[in-house]
Structure 1
Amino acid sequence: MATTSIYASSEVEAIPVIDFSDILSGSKDLGNCPQVKELHSALSTVGFVFLTNHGIDKKMVDKVFKMSETFFTQDISAKKPFIRREHIGNDGYVCMEQESVNPTQPGDLKECYNICKTAIPCPDLLEDCIKDLFFESNKTLALKILEVMGYAFELKDPQFFVKRHQKIGQGSSESYTTLRLLYYPPLPPSLNLKPGQLRCGEHVDYGSITLLFQDPNGGLQVKKKGGGYIDVPYIDGAVLVNLGALMQQWTGDKYPATPHRVLVPDDETVKERVRQSIAFFVHPDNEVLVETIDGSNKYPPITALEDTFRRLKQSYFPVD
């Protein structure tokens, strides 16, 4: 199936939509598959792409959204026992304004729950679907995308990226790959926004790639190369894939990590709606040394763990 654009105007950069079914079916040689070339084109220009027919059951995604909402709508006293503690790893609950993904701006107006599968207590209502089946489904899709990227980049070993992501799900002591539930609570008209404060500040993701499931409530924007932003739509059943900062470094800027943000709506009615998303942030194994694969040495080599620590320390505020 050909790549399609959800933007008709030539004045904006398009986020392509690619049918992933042929790739998952194994019916085509990845070295000559049109969808591989389409993915390469999308990632090397926009840095974002929608995948349809990606193999993750929408009913399971919807179930996780419901479980997530049940957790976040509890009283804060029920969530605080699971709060993220840096000395343990990345797992746990992140409260409102605890994190600013743009360190130059105030704390983000969102709550999160991070799951790296470290052996710490997890809320019972998040346990089954998220820690096992849903986490593993995202892992399977992520590894297939990384394999396709190896072919798209015409690497001598197409499994190059896959081989460096073998410890996903073994906890943050091995890989910082994180399943993150995001909850943007209703914002009352009486809320006094701090200057520059957003639901999620402008940033690029950490790591290699991100898989994102959205609800229909909108707010996500992707920055265009020439300035301005693209409003990212909701596509029922699709997963949005984008590149992380380490992948940009690995590929010597050929695969860009594109800045993006989540706005506070101007419309008071929309502002009072809940917004949810689910992100699967894919990181290389901690010990992997990331060097530019084209030999250009545009970036100094760094391990995946060093890069993650550096970025996390910039993003989080201390909690009591």
Structure 2
Amino acid sequence: MTLDVRRSLAFSEVPVIDISSAVAGDTDPTIIESMRDACIDVGFFYVSNHGVPSDVVEQLHSEAARYFARPMYEKERCVVNDQMRGYLPLFFRSFEGEVDAGTSHQEGFWIGYEHPPSSARPLDGPNQWPENAESLRHAMDDYLAATKALALGLIGAFEQALNVASGSLGELFDRPTTRLKLNHYPPQENPTSEDDIGVIPHTDAGAFTILWQDDSGGLEIQNKDGAWVGAPPIENSFVVNLGNLMPTWTNGLFASTPHRVINRGGDRYSIPLFVNPNQDAHICCLTEKSSSDPGFLYGEYQRNHWRRAFPIANIP
């Protein structure tokens, strides 16, 4: 597939929402309406006034750059394991069943919340860390703590946008399988094919993602007409995009939108927080209950996705 890399892509379709009231737990109805419209029409929106200190973000950005600058042999000592934690090597291949879905021109590093290990919850942890990585560990732990109120505020706002009972979503996230990931995209000069871009078109499998991106740009989302629309970084804002659970919870009302990354310059860094529910969360439509829809358990769904998307991890 030939890729048009010359377009100057508009991004007016991606709204910016002041999320401060949601983080404070006292959401303005106009904010809820804006979020609802964005979730239906776009599946993406920016959040400003989110309460995450800029120094926490910048510290993790700096630590990510230092980590990815390590020699490859050091990083590969901590390759992603069957807990879906650790280093994801550059140019990993992703599969859907037996069909090769392509190569991503990025490397990553994953951690998650650490829960007491349990045979009934095989992905609970612990995290694994490279040697001499105390500052990286502190920066990632600080980022997880700093974004917790934002994630919870968004969950509460989604409940209001759907007009469902308070706690309908929140109770599914009291032991979340959320993952924090560092991404590094090595320099590329104007890729000409989707086989060569940073991340091939995809949707996220979980509930929603909170993304910080550096000033390189490159994130693009696919609108309902099939056109690719730029979502460049906005200072002191995060990008929020809905994952594949949202259409299930909303009977298809909220959109999980395909997106991709094209790195057209030097090193690019991003930090996605994949907000995912508990392993034992029962996933079904929240807005229209039906006896014909048995739903599914999130843990098995998540493991099946990770087995296909990241075969290197050998998920049990």
Compute the TM-score of the two structures, normalised by the length of structure 1.
0.83
What is the CA-CA distance between 1:317 and the residue it aligns to? 4.0
Give the counterpart letter for 1:160 in structure 2.
Answer: S
SS in 2 for 1:80: helix
Equivalences for 1:131-146 in 2 at 5 Å?
131=141, 133-146=142-155
User: Who is 1:172 aligned against?
Assistant: none
Instruction: Name the counterpart of 1:216.
Output: 215
Q: Please provide the CA RMSD for this pair.
A: 2.5
- Match of 1:119, as an amino acid? P
Report 1:1-320 matches (<5 A): 14-26=13-25, 28=26, 30=27, 33-86=29-82, 89-100=83-94, 104-116=100-112, 117=114, 118-123=125-130, 124=133, 125-131=135-141, 133-155=142-164, 157-168=165-176, 175=177, 177-187=178-188, 196-265=195-264, 270=265, 273-293=266-286, 294-295=288-289, 301-318=295-312
Structure 1 unaligned residues grouped into runs of 5+:
1-8, 169-174
Find the aligned partners of 1:302 and 1:110 in 2 and give their Cα distance. 32
Gaps of 5+ in 2: 1-8, 115-124
What is the rounded CA distance, in whole Å, between the counterparts of 2:236 and 2:76 in structure 1? Answer: 32
Q: How many residues align structurally? A: 289
What is the SS of the residue equivalent to 1:318? helix
Structure 2 letter corresponding to 1:234? P
Provide closer, same or farther for how the CA distance between residues 47 and 289 of structure 1 changes in structure 2, counting only shifts above 3 A.
same
After superposing on structure 2, the runs of 4+ consecutive aligned residues of structure 1 that deviate more than 6 Å are none
Deviations 1:150-207 (A, max 9, x none): 011111x122111110113xxxxxx2x1001001012379x9x887232101100011
Give the C-alpha shift of residue 215 in structure 1: 0.5
Which of 290-299 and 109-118 deviates more?
Answer: 290-299
Closer, same or farther in 2 for the Cα pair 1:256/1:300, shift >3 Å? Answer: farther
**Cα distance between partner residues in 1 of 2:100 and 2:49:** 38
The percentage of counterpart residues that share the same residue type is: 24
Work out which structure has the larger RCO, using CA pairs closer than 8 Å and 6 or more positions apart in sequence. 2
